Chain A
């Protein structure tokens, strides 16, 4: 949001979020409108899509219903407050919101700090490739990346899919996953590596 932008007209009352789910590209566009224009209507549409998912995500982590509801509302508030830092060339709306939910979960449920890199760190070693912005027709290619990853995840062998789901949804350390699946620790690690390899192959040069 730029403070110098002209005041936007009062948005119409947000529609109830029961309509058709906005497509991935539309969701990133909505998030951009939230960041740029403080568009409450766009926020309500995003809420309709993400609120149930965020609450389920928190529940899977073991939060009870009331805590999951609180954390979901907190996550959506954070989406509103930080939307001006959303960059559709770096991530899709789904990926960006996922990282907010993940960090909130570590902070509130595990009560730990999450060590994060600082993009402005003078010690940061930049990527060798130039970071020129992609051409205009590539602007929404992050959503295509998401589509390919989602397709690759659907095609994972069930034993790899299980390890991925336990890692990402339930925040389970490798040792816990091994105990729950009744397999050795090394098997958990190799399944996760194989799954990541498949994801990477499905993307080809899409992300590099």
Chain B
């Protein structure tokens, strides 16, 4: 099943431009794994990048001329042995039994976790709500959330923006139902109370660029402990 809720085009274009922070980039790459339509959009945006590279004019290149011996130096290195990668290669995908792949985590996320969901160390936030920090790129963070069946997250608005990618199960809010691959976008104008589907836990990757502010009285009570 393909996603029904997608990241906005400006996010997809920024992913293609390479200008997203790492946490948001991880969410987009994970969504792309599950969404052929957005892969197409990113392909188009990469064409924009290629066209811009090709259309750099002599004025741009004259500012920083290529050194006279550059070609000779590169040619002399063509047969050098390949450099050892400075990062360990990502763990290979688990050789999942047939059927498991359809519900498996996207490879970009597995690379950050160093494995599948079984490697995640969850921290309990509230009854029926657990989290695990995946990427901390300063102000922007990506976290996994596990919400127990039927649990509703306290009413909250956002100081900044929040993107939520459903990886397993689903949830509903004012805008509708979000299933695997869907991306919910929320900003400071939205107040919502997402509810996990009753038939199983919901697992999401959420990227926030500022602390959440919980509106309800329960929310205000637990908010200092959440570090959301």
Which residues of A line the B interface, CB within 8 A? 14, 17, 24, 40, 43-44, 47-48, 50-57, 59-60, 65, 68-69, 72-73, 76-77, 80-81, 91-92, 94-99, 101-103, 105-106, 112-118, 120-128, 145-146, 149-150, 153, 164-165, 167-169, 171-174, 188-190, 192-193, 195-197, 199-200, 203, 207-208
User: Are B10 and A189 in contact, CB atoms less than 8 angstroms apart?
Assistant: yes
User: Are A103 and B63 in contact, CB atoms less than 8 angstroms apart?
Assistant: no
User: Are A47 and B19 in contact, CB atoms less than 8 angstroms apart?
Assistant: no
User: Are B70 and A69 in contact, CB atoms less than 8 angstroms apart?
Assistant: yes
User: Are B71 and A98 in contact, CB atoms less than 8 angstroms apart?
Assistant: no
User: Are B29 and A174 in contact, CB atoms less than 8 angstroms apart?
Assistant: no
Which residues of B line the A interface, CB within 8 A? 2, 8-10, 12-14, 17-22, 25-26, 28-30, 32-36, 39-41, 43-56, 60-61, 63-67, 70-71, 73-75, 77-78, 82, 87, 93, 96, 101-102, 104-108, 111-112, 137, 181
A-B contact count, CB below 8 Å? 232
In the complex, 27 of the A-B residue pairs with CB atoms within 8 angstroms, ordered by the A residue number, are: A51-B66, A51-B70, A53-B60, A56-B61, A56-B63, A56-B64, A69-B70, A73-B70, A76-B74, A77-B77, A91-B43, A92-B50, A96-B50, A97-B50, A98-B49, A98-B50, A99-B50, A102-B17, A117-B29, A117-B30, A117-B39, A120-B93, A122-B96, A125-B36, A153-B51, A171-B17, A207-B47
Report B-chain residues with C-beta under 8 Å of the C-beta of A199: 44-45, 47-48
Name the residue on B nearest A195 (C-beta): B13
**Chain A interface main SS type:** helix
**Chain B interface main SS type:** helix
Taking the closest CB of chain A, its distance from the CB of B158, in whole angstroms, is 14
User: Are A118 and B47 in contact, CB atoms less than 8 angstroms apart?
Assistant: no
User: Are B48 and A123 in contact, CB atoms less than 8 angstroms apart?
Assistant: no
Beyond A56-B61, A115-B111, whether A167 also contacts B13 by CB under 8 A is yes
User: Are B137 and A117 in contact, CB atoms less than 8 angstroms apart?
Assistant: no
User: Are A125 and B107 in contact, CB atoms less than 8 angstroms apart?
Assistant: no
